[in-house]
Amino acid sequence: MSNDEFRAAMSRLAAGVVLVTAREMPLDPEDPSAPLGEDVGMTATAFLSVSLDPPLVLVSLRNGSRMDDLLDEQPLWAVSVLSESQRHIAGRFAMKGRISDRLLFEDIPYVRGEVSGAPLVGGTLATLECRTEQRVTAGDHTLVIGRVLTAALPGDGGPLAYFKGKYRQLG
């Protein structure tokens, strides 16, 4: 089986679309006047619920990606479940060779998670703040399992889905 055959088969599996976010650690945690770290965001479709008790979720990150490297150091992160009207956010944070994350967040309404400090996008269907419990290497990806610390339902509407290589709406 080729990579293309595998990719084509998996593209037939519809998936929800989320924005995974985290805040880099301050450059010098001991110095309160040191610059804060940058916010980082990544669109993901490989995200799922793992357990109800305790509440656990899983996100799959490409090995060596900026988010994989960051979550290896920063245990607190967040997830915003995107609505069908937020396709532009998904596309923006999925671009390869994109501009800095600071500029990507510039005109997107968000609040900071009280626990994680990570951006939680406004108008999403749900937001979660998580703490990494386990990291598992799986081929060219890392499976990051996080304990859900907070959950909120800031918006309503239909979900943004990903199917056959495109963002879609249900219905």
Q: Average pLDDT of 159-165?
A: 94
pTM of the model: 0.91
Q: What Å distances lie between residue 72 and 60, 63, 145, 171, CA to CA?
A: 13, 11, 12, 38
Q: Average pLDDT of 55-59?
A: 98
pLDDT over threshold 90, residue 1: no
- Interatomic CA distance for residues 152 and 124, integer angstroms: 10
